[in-house]
Every structure is written in C-alpha cells, then in structure tokens.
Structure 1
Amino acid sequence: MGAAAAAALTPTVMELGGNDAAVLLDDAPLDDSAMDRLVLASMATAGQVCMAVKRIYVPRARHDRFVDAFTAAAARVVRLGDPLVPGVSVGPVISAESAARLRALTDDSLRRGGRAVPLGTVCPSADTSAGHFVRPVALLGLDDRAPVVREEQFGPLVPVLAYDGEDEVIARAGAGELGLGASVWSADEERAFAVARRLDAGFCFVNTHNRTGMSLRAPFGGVKRSGHGREYGAEGLMEYVQPCVTHAPAAFRGGGAGMAPGAYPVPTGPPGPPPRE
C-alpha cells in the first residue's frame, strides 16, 4: 500500500499493528476493577485488536499473586462462544489459518517449558468445533525469546513475564520492531507517567489499556514499524490538511518599508564571506 501511494505521491497514515506491553509496577493495583480492565484489554474481540495487550510484565515478587488475580478476573469477564449469544465476551478468531497459528504458538510455548493457564469459561451452548474458536490462555514461564512474546499473536493468548527492575522492564518492553501502544499500571499516577515517558511506544495508557482507555481527543499512532501518522485529536485532523500559503513580503509591499515597487531590499546584516575565486 505504501509503495502504491508513493508512486502517486499520495500522503498516507499507516497503523501497522503492535506488540503492546502492559507494565505493572511494584505498587500496581490488583483489585477487581483493575484486573477486569486488564483482562478485557487482552481478550476483547478475541485479542484481535492492534492496540490490545499482547504481553504483561509483572514484578517477580508479585507474579503468583498477579496470576491469581488475573485468572479470577477472567472467570468474571471471559466467556467463549457465539458472540450473538448474550453474555459471551470472546468469539472466534478471523480464520482457520489464524486459529492454527495461535495453536502453534501455544504448542511452541509448552515445548519451551511454559505453562498454559485456561482463562474464563466456555458458553454451554457453544459448539467450538464449528468455528475458529481458540480458548483464551495465559502463558507462564517463558522468556522474551519465545515467538509468542516476540511476535504480535493477534489472538486470545497473553504471556505473563516476570521482571526484576524498572530499567530492565523498560528495555524489554521497548525491544522489537513494533511500537504502537503500551500501558503502565501503578497506584502512583505521577510515577506511572514518568515510566510511560520512557517507553518506546506511540501511545501509552495509564492504569488501563485498549478501548477502555481511548479518547478521541488524543492522537493515536505508532513508532518504528508500527506505522506513521496519527488518528484522532487535532493531529489526526491535520493529516487530512495541506497548508497553502499566500505571502506578500513586507519589503516588496507598496509603502510597507518605504521602497518603490520592484526595488530589491538592501542587506543590513554583517557581510558574508568573500567570494571564492
């Protein structure tokens, strides 16, 4: 698309996906409200949202407690099945190829020594064999070399990764070619904003993520290979505008500087370097 637009000198705004990291600091709230938001940020539309949470980084000392809270929240808000059935919050993925890729990522994670924790419940009336359904899972015990961590999985799989220090997690969250979104979770909003400013992402949420944190007043877009240009906000409107200028220099306007029309202004600054021979 970019090549076709360039051939016609057509400006573009491109949002090209993301591998968004959610960074929980050591004081991040693990209450029901926060955990419900984080689960939905990972699993809404079966994880098929470019700005969805794709990786969760948790302080090592809080890892097990976080997994318990996240799993409990998923039991409240994740129900797999036909999205037209009331109460269902996670439907199928877009295609058989996508479902196969997601299952392959899960299998690869297990071969690497990871563990898959099922999330939520399956609607009793759902025939998951009749569509491209993928059971939502949290993947534990992986490192950043695993494909499900390095790549945008675009589905209801979310790796939970332990870290030991703030500088470490900032570097890990910003690694890779994509930089669409990220989020920082902390009881101290000022601290969260300070960490967010250090993340290599075009849009950073604080104590929320994905569509629960979007604002039409805030320009949205990525850095690195996540694209260029912005949507929403004043910056998004300006993507559709080309400034055209009408300018009459004061020195050439009749009576503007006491000069006759057509005269050239006399330089008043310091002389330039002598001409070269």
Structure 2
Amino acid sequence: MTLAQTFNAALAGIASTPRQLLIDGRWSDAADGGTMVTINPATGLPLAELACGRAADIDLAVTAARRAFEGPWSATTPYDRQRMLLRLADLIEANYDTIALLDSLDMGAPITRTQAGRHTAPQLVRYYAGLVPTLRGETITPSVPGAPFVATLREPVGVVGAITPWNAPFRMCVWKAAPALAAGCTIILKPAEQSPLSALLFGQLCLEAGVPPGVVNVVPGMAEAGQRLAEHPDVDKITFTGSTRTGQHIIRASAGNLKRLSLELGGKSAHIILDDADLDLAAPAAAHAVFQNSGQICSAGTRLFVEDGIHDEFVERVLAETATLRMGDPLDPETQIGPLVDQTQKTTVQQYISTGLAEGASLLAGGTDVEAEALAAGSFVSPTVFTGVRDDMTIAREEIFGPVLSILRFSDRDEVIRRANASEYGLGAGLWTQDVSAAHALGRRLRAGTVWVNCYQLMDPAVPFGGYKLSGYGRESGYDHVHEFLETKALWIR
C-alpha cells in the first residue's frame, strides 16, 4: 500500500472515531449537551465537533472509576491485566494509520513524525505489560522483640486523573494510562481541548481490548473539566504534562485531599557544544533539537551554548541546516515543520520573537510570517534563530514552546555549567564533546532530569524521564513510573 493509499484508508476510518464522552464503558453526550469544535491548525478550518465535558461529567466519570476500582477491577489478577495490555498494544498497532492521521490533523505534527509512533506507542504498552508480574513488596526482619512477621505490600493508589497536553496527543494517553492500568488503578483521561480526537480512539481501543467499564474513562473538555479533576475529593492521584503555570494550579487544587501528583512541566533546556565536538553531527542535531514538532516539546534544546573557538562556524552550520527544513502541509510526507497547534500559540510565539528583537538579540533566520499563500490560513511560524543572546533576555529565560532558537557564546566550561544551571527549569540538557572525561564530569554537573551526550531527545520505555525544579517531579517510563501509581503498605503479624 502506498503512503497516499494509507492516508485515504485512514481518512475513511476517522469517520467512525467517537465524538462523545466515554464514561463507565458507554459513549454519551455531555450532561448539559455542550459541544466543542477542534480546529485543523494547518488550514484554520473546523475538523470535528464533539461533546464537551464539564464538572458534572467529571463527577460521573470519577464515580464510575471508583466503582470499577472497588469492584471487578480489584479482582483482576496480574495475568489478567497483562493480557489486556498486550491486546491493547496489538490494537494500537493495527489501527496506527488512523491514530497518526488524527494527531496530524488535530495538532499539526508532520505525518512522518506521528507515523514514527507506530512502534514506540505499542512498545510502551508492552513494556508496562511486562512489568505487571514484577510488582511486589518484600519481607523485612525487624529488630523488635518477639520477631513478628513483617512484609510490605504494593497496592494501586486508586482513581487516577490524567490531564494530557496537545503536543503529542496519543503518546501522552499511552504514557499516562498504561502504567496506571499495569498498577491496577482506574483512570479518567482529560485530553487537551486542542487535540482530543486520538484520546477518544484510545478509549475505544481499550474497550475492544476487554478493559472493563469504568476502568478507562475519557472526558474531553475545557479548563473547567481539568480543574474539577484536579480538585475532586475522590481522585487519589493526578498525572499531568503541560505548562509549569498550570502545574502550579493543579498543586493548589489538589490540596483538599492531598492527592498524589506526578508533574512533567516546562523546560528551557541548555544544549552545550564544546569546541572538540563532531560538528557534522552536532549542528544538525542542534537544529532538530529545537525545531522538531515546531518547537512544541518541553525538553527542546532552546538555549544553544557554543564555545568561542567554533562559535561562528557552528552558527553557520546550524543556519544551513535550518534552511533545508521544509515547512508545509502536515500530511505531505516531505514536510518537516508543521503549524503550531492554534492561532493563540502562534500569537504567543510571535510576541516572544518581537521581544527578542526589542531586547537586542540579532535575528539570523525566520521571525516573520510565512510567505507561502497556501500556509497563510494556518498557524505556521518559520524556524527562527537568534544570536547575540544574553542570559537575562526573555527569550533565554522563558519557555516559548515554538520554533525559536537562542544561541549563546561561552569561553569557560565552569562558566557554561553555571549559566546552564541558572534556570528555573531542569528538564533536559545536551552536551557534545569527544572527550569522555568531559562527558562524565560536565554531564554530572548539569541539573536536569535527562542529560544527552552526543545525541538529543532519545527516549526509551525503560529509561526514566522527568525534571528538576520548576520542570516538575515524578518520573515517566522506566520501572519507577509504575511505582508512581502504587502505595506501600507495611503489614505486621505477630
């Protein structure tokens, strides 16, 4: 089947994708009958109308999730949960053309990027399925008189609210729901209002995989739905990926019942190029580290620190790579840069570009509206490169979440580590050097949850990912991730 045929087949499948809320195993309209429209960011035209959940719908979903958690789901064995997850992985694989197309249409990612999840999304689910039989406590020999039997039990935390972002819609559903299900929790997914379609398809696939009613609920909606989920007294945990500001709101909202939190928040990642780096590899990596997904990645390498001796040559190489990037229709397999998720995000990014110019940074590429008439109606922003950036400039301090690269010069390696760490964020960092001693010494000193050396943005289900400081807390992927959904109970028996 050609790629064009694949697109046509997937388009036909989209017509049957659910448009209602999934609560307690049933598809239903919102309690108040409300709807919302999702927009194709490449064209600015409506894509789909669907039910819009509000606080009352969240309440219904939480009730269903609690009933399932305390009822049939609690009786499932590790084998049962593992088998359901493996069936879910197979269904994701079988339906991936539709999944990829939904995400490209809904949030504008190039089809080549969304298609790349064909292997990673099922791989994630199978990884968590593999962990299910390994979840166990331990026996402990206490020092108290009488030598009672003491053991720890690992128990599911309970009802989980998952609030997902729009920059990787389907992957985020998998990343939140699969470890929660592996741990034995029930879940309410509240996808971002900008890109809810693949979350609804995820819910449908869960039902097809045999997940019991109420175990996975999907409630698209606006901010009110997320707020209610975060504050709901019968939700035991919130897992959230998104902006630091929203994460802080969730922390405050969660205080009522001190619910557990996992927060993967913003970033302003430092990407450091030492003068002994392999420039043939480092320069393209530096461009793609920030322009991939139109810069809508929280760990994007947006602060590029280049050592004096190679600064000018490296900048020229980055500019040359940037010039090759093709911006256009996300469904065109030749497209590398799609639109931002909506016009609001486009306006925000353009304001940051204007601020960079006003504060004295030198614009080397991008920074203006796209010229192609075919792209004019969409929320496109050209890949933008600034040089002469100072650490105190707004574009060097705040997360932009768009295709904007700030290049900073340095001459001393102790100095660059200090400057790289002088950020309120700490999600990711990159370092390029051929000196293995420098790789170890400097990599250990960078205050970030992930440090990539001679690579960038590599991810694996077995490797934990998360941030320091205002980039949040908790880890996703790896063995630790499932433990984010477990409580530890001590059992004493005399």
Q: Which category describes the TM-score, using the shorter chain as reference length? A: 0.7 to 0.9
1:58 counterpart letter in structure 2: V
Alignment of 1:102 onto 2:364:
no
Whichever residue aligns with residue 279 of structure 2, its letter is L
- The one-letter code matched in structure 2 to 1:94 is V
TM-score of the aligned structures, taking structure 2 as reference length: 0.47
Deviations 1:44-90 (A, max 9, x none): 110001011111000122111101111222234x2111211121111
Q: Decide which moves more: 150-159 or 100-109.
A: 100-109
Match of 2:359 among 104, 108, 112: 112
1:37 aligned to 285, 292, 306, which one? 285
The residue type equivalent to 2:266 in the other structure is G
Query: 1:13 maps to what in 2?
Result: 262
Report the counterpart of residue 465 of structure 2 in structure 1. Answer: 220
Letter in 2 for 1:51: S
Task: Tell whether 2:375 aligns with 1:150.
Answer: no
2: CA distance, partners of 1:123 / 1:151: 24
Which SS does the other structure have where 2:407 is aligned? strand
Q: In structure 1, how many angstroms separate the alpha carbons of the residues matched to 2:304 and 2:317?
A: 13
More helix by share: 2
In the alignment, which of 282, 296, 301 is matched to residue 53 of structure 1? 301
Mapped contact 1:189–1:206 kept (Cα < 8 A): no
Counterparts of 1:217 and 1:126 in 2: how far apart (Å)?
A: 44
Distance in 2, matches of 1:123 and 1:79, equals 12
CA distance in 1, matches of 2:426, 2:476: 15
Seen in structure 2, the aligned counterparts of structure 1 residues 4 and 109 have a Cα distance that, compared at 3 Å, is: closer
Moved more, 122-131 or 165-174: 122-131
- 1:70 match: 318
Q: Cα distance, 1:35 vs. partner?
A: 2.4
Q: How many residues align?
A: 243
Secondary structure of residue in 1 paired with 2:314: helix
User: What do the CA deviations read for 1:91-129 (whole angstroms, capped 9, x no partner)?
Assistant: 11122222122222222222333222226xx99976231
Contact 1:81 1:123 in 2 (8 A): no
1:147 is aligned with what amino acid?
T
Percent sequence identity is 37
Give the equivalent residue in structure 2 for 1:86.
333
Structure 2 equivalent of residue 236 of structure 1: 481
Looking at structure 2, the residues matched to 83 and 191 of structure 1 have their Cα atoms a distance apart, in angstroms, of 40
CA contact (8 A) 1:142 1:161 kept: yes
TM-score normalised by L of structure 1: 0.82
CA distance in 2, matches of 1:129, 1:123: 7
Asked which structure has the greater CA Rg, the reply is: 1
- Structure 2 match to 1:25: 274
| Partner secondary structure for residue 355 of structure 2 | helix
For 1:126 and 1:19, locate their aligned partners in 2 and report how far apart those are by CA, in whole Å. 33
Partner of 2:154: none
In structure 2, the residue matched to 1:273 is none
The answer as to whether partners of 1:38 and 1:208 remain within 8 angstroms in 2 is no
Q: Distance in 1 between matches of 2:317 and 2:354?
A: 25
Output the CA distance in 2 between the equivalents of 1:7 and 1:74. Answer: 48
Q: CA deviation at 1:143?
A: 0.6
The CA distance in 2 between the partners of 1:228 and 1:190, in whole Å, is: 29
Structure 1 unmatched runs, 5+: 254-277
**What is the Cα deviation at residue 242 of structure 1?**
1.1
SS of residue matched to 1:243? strand
- CA distance change for structure 1 residues 125 and 102 in 2, over 3 Å: closer, same or farther? closer
Letter of the 1:73 partner, please give it.
Answer: E
State how far apart, in whole Å, the 2-side matches of 1:130 and 1:103 are.
16
Residue in structure 1 matching 2:374, options 119, 123, 127: 127
- Give the match's secondary structure for 2:491: coil
Structure 2: 5+ residue runs without aligned partners?
1-249
Runs of 4+ in 1 over 4 A off after TM superposition: 122-126
| 3-state SS in 2 of match to 1:12 | strand
- Partner SS, residue 79 of structure 1: coil
Structure 1 position 141 matched with structure 2 position 388: yes
| Other structure's SS at 1:214 match | coil
With CA pairs under 8 Å and 6+ residues apart, which has the higher RCO, 1 or 2? Answer: 1
How does 1:158-177 map onto structure 2 within 5 Å?
Answer: 158-177=405-424
> Are the equivalent residues in 1 in contact too, given 2:286–2:304 (CA < 8 A)?
no
Alpha-carbon spacing, 1:129–1:222, altered in 2? closer, same or farther (3 Å): same
User: What RMSD in Å do the two structures reach over aligned CA positions?
Assistant: 2.0
Check whether the contact 1:13–1:228 (CA below 8 A) recurs between aligned residues. Answer: yes
1:135 aligned partner, one-letter code: S
